[in-house]
Chains A and B, each alone.
Chain A
Amino acid sequence: MGMAEAILLTVATAATPLLIAAIGELVVERSGVLNLGVEGMMLMGAVAGFGAAIMSGSAWIGVFAGLLTGALFSLLFAFLALTLVTNQVATGLALTLLGIGMSGMIGESFVGMPGVKLRVLDLPVISDIPLIGRLLFGQDPFFYISIGLVAGVMWFLFRTRAGLTLRSVGDSHTSAHALGIRVVLIRYCAVMFGGACAGLAGAQLSLVYTTQWIENMTAGRGWIALALVVFASWRPLRVLVGAYLFGAITIMQLHVQAVNMADLVSLPGPLYWLVSVLKSAPSQLLSALPYLATIVVLVIISRNRRLTIMNTPASLGRPFVPDR
Chain B
Amino acid sequence: MRLELVKRPQQSKLYSALSPFIAFGLTLVAGAFLFAMLGKNPALGLYTYFVEPLTELWSLHELAVKAAPLILIAVGLSVCFVSNNWNIGAEGQFTIGAITGAALPLYFPDAQTIALLPAMLVCGALGGAVYAAIPALLKARFNTNEILTSLMLVYVAQLFLDWLVRGPWRDPAAMSFPQAPAFSSWATLPELFPMSGRANWGIVFALVAALVVWFMLSRTLKGFEIRVIGQSPRAGRFGGFSTARTIVFAFLVSGALAGLAGIAEVSGAIGRLQPQISPGYGFAAIIVAFLGRLNPLGIVAAGFVLALSYLGGEAAQIAVGVTDKTVRAFQGILLFFVLACDTLIHYQIRIVRRAPLSEPASLSTETAHGHG
Per the bound structure, the CA–CA distance linking A298 and B152 in Å amounts to 11
Residue numbers in A under 8 Å from B149 (CB-CB): 295, 298-299
Residue numbers in B under 8 Å from A104 (CB-CB): 323, 325, 328-329
Contact status B335-A97, CB under 8 Å: yes
Per the bound structure, the CA–CA distance linking A285 and B143 in Å amounts to 27
Q: Which of B138, B145, B156 contacts A291 (CB 8 A)?
A: B156
Contact status B327-A101, CB under 8 Å: yes
Contact status A294-B148, CB under 8 Å: yes
Question: Which positions 304-331 of chain B face chain A at CB distance < 8 Å?
Answer: 323, 325-331
Instruction: Write the B291-304 contact mask toward A (1 if CB under 8 angstroms, else 0).
Output: 00000000000000
Question: Within 8 Å of chain B (Cβ to Cβ): is A159?
Answer: no
Instruction: Write the A67-105 contact mask toward B (1 if CB under 8 angstroms, else 0).
Output: 000000000100010011111011101100111111011
Residue numbers in A under 8 Å from B336 (CB-CB): 76, 80, 91, 94, 98
Question: Which positions 220-257 of chain A face chain B at CB distance < 8 Å?
Answer: 220, 223, 226-227, 230
Contact status A220-B143, CB under 8 Å: no
Question: Which positions 126-168 of chain B face chain A at CB distance < 8 Å?
Answer: 138, 142-145, 147-149, 151-153, 155-156, 159-160, 162-163, 167
Binds B, one of A18-26, A140-148, A302-310: A302-310
Residue numbers in A under 8 Å from B332 (CB-CB): 94, 97-102
Contact status B339-A227, CB under 8 Å: no
Per the bound structure, the CA–CA distance linking A282 and B164 in Å amounts to 10
Q: How far is the CB of B120 from chain A (nearest CB, A)?
A: 24
Known: A97-B331, A298-B148. A87 touches B339 (CB 8 A): yes
Contact status B330-A85, CB under 8 Å: no
Question: Within 8 Å of chain B (Cβ to Cβ): is A36?
Answer: yes
**Which range holds the interface residue count of chain B?**
35 or more
Give the A interface residue count (CB, 8 A).
46
Contact status A86-B330, CB under 8 Å: no
Contact status A101-B329, CB under 8 Å: yes
Residue numbers in B under 8 Å from A93 (CB-CB): 88, 286, 335
Q: How far is the CB of A21 from chain B (nearest CB, A)?
A: 14
Known: A105-B326, A302-B145. A285 touches B159 (CB 8 A): yes
Question: Which positions 90-114 of chain B face chain A at CB distance < 8 Å?
Answer: none
Question: Within 8 Å of chain A (Cβ to Cβ): is B367?
Answer: no
Q: Which 6 A-B pairs have the closest CB atoms?
A: A98-B332, A101-B328, A101-B329, A104-B325, A284-B163, A94-B335
Interface residues of A (CB under 8 A from B): 36, 76, 80, 83-87, 89-91, 93-94, 97-102, 104-105, 108, 215, 219-220, 223, 226-227, 230, 282, 284-285, 287-288, 291-292, 294-295, 298-299, 302-303, 305, 308, 321, 324
Can you list 24 A-B pairs, Cβ within 8 angstroms, ordered by A? Answer: A80-B340, A83-B3, A89-B147, A93-B286, A97-B287, A97-B328, A99-B332, A105-B328, A108-B323, A220-B151, A227-B145, A227-B152, A230-B145, A282-B163, A285-B159, A288-B156, A291-B152, A294-B148, A298-B138, A298-B144, A298-B148, A299-B149, A302-B145, A305-B143
